[in-house]
Amino acid sequence: MRKKIIAGNWKMNYTVSQGEDFLLSIIDTINTDEVDVVICPNFTMLDRFSDLLEGKKVKLGSQNVYYEPKGAFTGETSPYMLQALNVKYCIVGHSERRTLFGETDEMVNNKAKALLELDMSPIICVGETLEQRNSGEMFDVVEKQVKAALKDIDKEMVKRNVVIAYEPIWAIGTGVTATSDEAEDMCKFIRKTVLNLYDKETAECLRVQYGGSVNPKNAAEILSKEDIDGALVGGASLKNDFVSIVNYE
């Protein structure tokens, strides 16, 4: 049985003190062992949140990482730096990074590998544009992203730590959610892709999230689907709605 994982992507929102105030207002209401709960604040908050989350159920996640261990990479953050702050999860390949900052499939793969080497979990985002869905290309697009992201990654690492988030770009921040059947079909397809790349056991271990305008009203239905193992939540994770999503049942 796969444990569900619900992660909040705060994106570029909140100063450290605003983020701390919000975190402290919700932290003790999230006390579940049923679901893995992750908060991914901006880099500037990671140090402070690492202390605040000590001994709490909520795990710390990052929104990005660079794949080199150290060196002349101005403005970047290495996996070791994240590990030192007790970061357990890291979003890679979010569509905003792919489209606004030129993150390629190859970079996503390098980032995933660098995180896995240090026993951290990449949350690998994949998903199609509206045009790609309308032209029926969505399965090809997502299959290519999944295969590229997992290139040369050992199956034990996939089983232990990889999370894939299916995030149709047209559903991110738009208030338009994929239907639970559309989301389930693609999450099932992602699992099948991983089965073909590795084996049944690996595919069964893999956790596949859905992301795209998840809110307290649609969470229960989406999360009831067999192949959807959690949610990656953007806008709603900045509000008390996140607690309602975590307690979706």
Residues recognised as catalytic: 94, 167
By CB under 6 A, residue 9 contacts ligand PEP: yes
Span from 141-149, 199-207, 221-229, 233-241 in contact with ligand PEP (CB under 6 A): 233-241
Ordered DSSP codes for the chain: -PPEEEEEE--S---HHHHHHHHHHHGGG---SSEEEEEE--HHHHHHHHHHTTTSSPEEEES---SSSSSS-TT---HHHHHHTT--EEEES-HHHHHHH---HHHHHHHHHHHHHTTPEEEEEE---HHHHHTT-HHHHHHHHHHHHTTT--HHHHHHH-EEEE--GGGSSSSPPPPHHHHHHHHHHHHHHHHHHS-HHHHHH-EEEEESS--TTTHHHHHTSTT--EEEESGGGGSTHHHHHHT--
Nearer to ligand PEP, 6 or 236 (CB): 236
- Pick one of 23, 39, 194, 214: the residue that binds ligand PEP (CB under 6 A): 214
Choices 66-74, 139-147, 155-163, 208-216; region in contact with ligand PEP by CB under 6 A: 208-216
Which of residues 111, 213, 222, 227 is near ligand PEP by CB under 6 A? 213
Rule CB under 6 A: choose which of 39, 149, 158, 172 binds ligand PEP: 172
Query: Could you say whether residue 235 binds ligand PEP (CB under 6 A)?
Result: yes
Q: Which residues bind ligand PEP (CB under 6 A)?
A: 9, 167, 172-173, 211-214, 232-236
